[in-house]
């Protein structure tokens, strides 16, 4: 399973939000490029960037910082936030970004998702950010009536490469991933799922390994890396590809303590 460090960009800085609330942001580093180099040096095989300004404004904002990160490291970078038209997506790929993550347009303009999947095969993912099972849009500022599972199935039919699932109520809270929601999603999909939101410890990461055979192939880790609750190098050693086979099926939190 891939462990993917997250770098959330707000006003050109590396921040973390609490449950997606822009009013509850904490700056962890003024230099996101420095952070990217650190995660790459510790063994990350991919980085996850979120343009929070872009998500709020509906168009990419932190392009200069994104380009600097891509040029500073040699591992693939995936980017989401404010990607609501083809030129914005194409611009990211021109900067060297490996994968674009669509969000709001998956709900509001699925035909664009289909168009982009045809134009950039294997490079389009959809981020499904949910509150109580319903999809949030426009930088998590609005909640639709669309069910996360239904949207994921629709996007899979359109040809997206992966689904990135975030439980907003868990994001930035260090309260653990939503295993039930991830399992339900995996039972309805045949494309890879990347879990996001709530990871607080190596125990949480090990617990996700039980979902790897179902198609949860990666996990995005944000706040726990910045607080030191998760050591990236240790996490990468612990849950590398195939390691789920070494975990007893009845392993629970107490066994990992």
Structural domain includes residue 248: no
And the tokens for 3? 């462990």
Q: What share of the chain in percent tops pLDDT 90?
A: 67
Structural domain includes residue 255: no
pLDDT at residue number 250: 39
Helix (H) / strand (E) containing 218? strand 216-221
Q: Which has more pLDDT, 19 or 148? A: 148
What's the CA angle centered on 55, arms 53 and 61, to 5 degrees?
40
pLDDT at residue number 256: 29
Cβ–Cβ < 8 Å for 239, 217:
no
Structural domain includes residue 86: yes
Question: What whole-number distance in Å separates Cα of residue 14 and Cα of residue 6?
Answer: 9
Cα–Cα distances (Å) from 114 to 132, 159, 160, in that order, read 27, 7, 8
Ranges 161-175, 180-194, 198-212: which has the least confidence: 161-175
Residue 128: count other Cβ atoms within 10 Å of its Cβ.
25
Rounded average pLDDT over 172-194: 88
What's the CA angle centered on 59, arms 54 and 60, to 5 degrees?
60
**Cα 220 from chain centroid?**
5
Which candidate, 171, 228, 206, places its Cα nearest to that of 38? 228
Question: What whole-number distance in Å separates Cα of residue 60 and Cα of residue 92?
Answer: 9
pLDDT at residue number 244: 37
Structural domain includes residue 156: yes
Per residue in 49-76, pLDDT (tens digit) is: 999 999 889 999 999 999 999 999 999 9
Ranges 22-31, 34-43, 122-131: which has the least confidence: 22-31
In this structure, what CATH number is given to the domain that contains residue 29? 3.20.20.70
| Residue 206, pLDDT above cutoff 90 | yes
Rounded average pLDDT over 216-242: 89
Structural domain includes residue 194: yes
Per residue in 72-120, pLDDT (tens digit) is: 999 999 999 999 999 999 999 999 999 999 998 999 999 999 999 999 9
pLDDT at residue number 19: 60
The domain total for the chain is 1
Phi, psi of 59 (to 5 degrees): -160, 150
Q: Mean pLDDT of all residues in the chain?
A: 87
Cα–Cα distances (Å) from 243 to 40, 98, 205, 211, 215, in that order, read 21, 26, 11, 12, 14
Instruction: Let me know how long the chain is.
Output: 257
Q: Which has more pLDDT, 80 or 130? A: 80
| Residue 155, pLDDT above cutoff 80 | yes
pLDDT at residue number 140: 55
Residues 6+ apart with CB under 8 A from 122: 161
Rounded average pLDDT over 186-215: 93
**124-131 and 162-167 strand pairing:** parallel
Structural domain includes residue 221: yes
| Residue 251, pLDDT above cutoff 50 | no
3-state DSSP assignment of residue 166: strand
User: Which residues are marked as active site?
Assistant: 8, 129
Structural domain includes residue 252: no
Cβ–Cβ < 8 Å for 101, 164:
yes
Q: What share of the chain in percent tops pLDDT 70?
A: 86
Structural domain includes residue 31: yes
| Domain housing 117 | 2-241
Q: Which has more pLDDT, 139 or 163? A: 163
């Amino acid at each position: 399973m891939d462990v993917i460090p997250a770098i959330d960009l707000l006003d050109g800085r590396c921040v973390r939000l609490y449950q997606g609330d822009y009013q509850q942001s904490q700056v962890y580093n003024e230099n996101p490029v420095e952070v990217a180099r650190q995660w790459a040096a510790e063994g990350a095989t991919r980085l996850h960037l979120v343009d929070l300004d872009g998500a709020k404004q509906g168009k990419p904002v932190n392009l200069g910082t994104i380009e600097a990160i891509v040029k500073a490291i040699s591992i693939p970078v995936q980017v989401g936030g404010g990607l609501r038209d083809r030129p914005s997506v194409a611009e990211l790929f021109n900067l060297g970004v490996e994968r674009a993550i669509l969000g709001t347009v998956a709900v509001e303009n699925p035909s664009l998702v289909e168009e982009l999947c045809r134009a950039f095969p294997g490079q389009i993912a959809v981020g499904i950010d949910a509150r109580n099972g319903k999809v949030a849009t426009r930088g998590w500022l609005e909640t639709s009536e669309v069910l996360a599972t239904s949207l994921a199935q629709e996007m899979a039919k359109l040809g997206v490469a992966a689904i990135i699932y975030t439980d907003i109520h868990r994001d930035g809270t260090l309260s653990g991933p939503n295993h039930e929601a991830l399992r339900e999603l995996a039972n309805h999909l045949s494309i890879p799922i990347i879990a996001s939101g709530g990871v607080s410890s190596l125990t949480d990461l090990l617990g996700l390994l039980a979902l790897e055979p179902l198609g949860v192939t990666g996990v995005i880790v944000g706040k726990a890396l910045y607080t030191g609750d998760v050591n990236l190098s240790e996490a990468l050693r612990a849950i590398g590809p195939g390691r789920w086979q070494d975990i007893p099926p009845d392993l629970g939190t107490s066994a990992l303590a």
